[in-house]
Structure 1
Amino acid sequence: MTFLVLLAFGCLTGVTTVLFGFGGGFLTVPVVVAVTGDMHVAVATSTAVMVVNSLAATVAQARAGRIRRSYVWPLIAFIALGAAFGSLAATRLPERVLHVAFIAYLVITIVDCLARNGFLHRPLETPRKLGPVTRTAGGVGIGAVASALGVGGSVMTVPLLRRSGLPMTEATAMANPLSAPVALIGTAIYAFAGTGSAGRAGYVDLIAAAALLCGSIPAIALTRRLTARIPDRVHAIAYLAMLAGVTIAMIVTP
């Protein structure tokens, strides 16, 4: 039964990876916490799943022509730098702190997207470039927070790119390559940080990760054809609705 639950959530993760740029963290962290009862294991397993999901979705979105290199580089390099610091910090934080921080992160993001202009509506006809401070210091901050919470950074990069004037299809598409360094660095650190046990590599639960990926990979291949058909405003509202759902799930998870 547990395997089937993880498989089902894996399928849902594949869909959200393509539609919203979620490499898996917002869905896999709550479900793995419920299965294992360990926040550190949930965050670590989430980053492992994101490695595969973000890379698979990046290839699919690049083929569809939705990746703009000028927005990805050099932001991705500074996100990678921040990810190293965030992952190391997370291994030393109490589980309760990580749990509360995860919920706070989601709530702040939802309120910010609703309160400030530029997310639900696209006020800019011509997208603007990211500034040097955003690409450097902002990238480090995104990487640190994302890796510490196992969420890939899409909740920060999607609103950031959206307010730069990009349509939701492109903003969510570019969240995937920007999540890849967080996933890669985080997984490497978590795999060696824990004591390890049967079926685990450090904090990474290999069985849970495999079950999730069995569902997500086929879902990514099927969902990539649907993204362009969703109206931009509907896409933005659905993104916030998904965040709200995950927030509720984390609040009710002990």
Structure 2
Amino acid sequence: MFYILLTFFGCLTGISAVLFGFGGGFVVVPLLYRLLLAAHGADDPIGQSAMHIAVATSTCVMIVNALIATDKHRRAGNLIRDYLWPLGGFIGLGAIVGAIAAVWVSGDVIRYVFIAYLGITLIDCLLRRGFLTRTEGGIPRQLGRTEMSGGGVGIGAIATFLGVGGSVMTVPLLRRCGLSMSQATSMANPLSVPVALAGTITYMAMAGFGNAGLGTWFVGYVDLLAFAALTAGSLLGIRLATPWIGRIPDRLHAWVYVALLAIVLISMCVS
């Protein structure tokens, strides 16, 4: 039942990656965290490291989701190079810092930061102009140097610390540059790749310093069996979502994006 649930929700991560730029973290982290606690208990080594495992496995799944979704959006013509580089490089740099910091922080701290961050993001999307409504016919502005450097490092550090792809920062940022929701969510996938790679490698390496000792099917904090189940489901989800690329009305796309953030926030608060 454990792996059937993971496969089902893996399918949802594939859909969310293609349509909303979520590489899987906002589904995988709360789900895997709760399943690991239920299966092993809070006193078991796996239960004690449940949040670290959830975050690390999430970044690993994100590599697959982000790369495949990026290719789908490239073929659809939604990617704009000027918004991908050098922002992506700064995000990768921040990702290394965030992953190292997360390994040395308790799982409860990561969970509370996750909840606080989601809440702030929701309020920002709802109250600040430019996200829910886009000015039609406007010319998108370019990212400034500070947005690319300082913003990129901050996005990478926070995203990897929380085990998410950074779409909750990159999508609002690009949205307020004047891009459509389809373009902004498309760009979130390639911008998640450096976070996923840096996060996965760092979590695998740094777990040894913490003497994780989680068992045969773990590489560092990455749960290989959970990764396999989630990835199998995500491939199906990506295939199902691909025909909908660019077909969702912009305002509806923005509201559904916000609604998904609210659902995940509620899930983490009651867990």
TM-superposed CA distance for 1:198, in Å, is: 1.7
TM-superposed CA distance for 1:27, in Å, is: 0.2
> TM-score, with normalisation over the residues of structure 2?
0.92
Count how many residue pairs are aligned between Structure 1 and Structure 2.
253
Q: Could you tell me whether the CA contact under 8 Å between 1:48 and 1:187 is conserved in 2? A: yes
TM-superposed CA distance for 1:224, in Å, is: 1.6
Task: Say which is worse superposed, 195-204 or 230-239, in terms of deviation.
Answer: 195-204
1:52 is matched with which residue? 64
Root-mean-square deviation over aligned CA pairs: 0.9
SS at match of 2:115: helix
TM-superposed CA distance for 1:11, in Å, is: 0.5
Please give the alpha-carbon distance, in whole angstroms, between the structure 1 residues aligned to 2:169 and 2:258: 12
Q: Could you tell me whether the CA contact under 8 Å between 1:110 and 1:243 is conserved in 2? A: yes
> TM-score, with normalisation over the residues of structure 1?
0.98
- Equivalent of 1:141 in 154, 179, 188: 154
Residues 114-193 of structure 1: pairs in structure 2 closer than 5 A:
114-123=126-135, 125-193=138-206
SS at match of 1:230: coil
Q: Could you tell me whether the CA contact under 8 Å between 1:25 and 1:43 is conserved in 2? A: yes
1:221 is matched with which residue? 239
2:22 is matched with which residue? 22
TM-superposed CA distance for 1:221, in Å, is: 2.2
Kindly provide the CA deviation profile for residues 83-116 of structure 1, in whole angstroms up to 9, marking residues without a partner as x.
Answer: 0000000000011110000000100000001110
2:6 is matched with which residue? 6
Q: Aligned residues: percent identity?
A: 55
Please give the alpha-carbon distance, in whole angstroms, between the structure 2 residues aligned to 1:107 and 1:31: 18
Task: Say which is worse superposed, 223-232 or 205-214, in terms of deviation.
Answer: 223-232
SS at match of 1:224: helix
Instruction: Say whether 1:243 aligns with 2:261.
Output: yes
TM-superposed CA distance for 1:123, in Å, is: 2.8
TM-superposed CA distance for 1:36, in Å, is: 1.4
| Structure 1 portions without partners, runs of 5+ | none
Q: Could you tell me whether the CA contact under 8 Å between 1:60 and 1:221 is conserved in 2? A: no
SS at match of 1:225: helix
Amino acid corresponding to residue 187 of structure 1 in structure 2:
T
| Structure 2 portions without partners, runs of 5+ | 38-49
Please give the alpha-carbon distance, in whole angstroms, between the structure 2 residues aligned to 1:123 and 1:226: 23
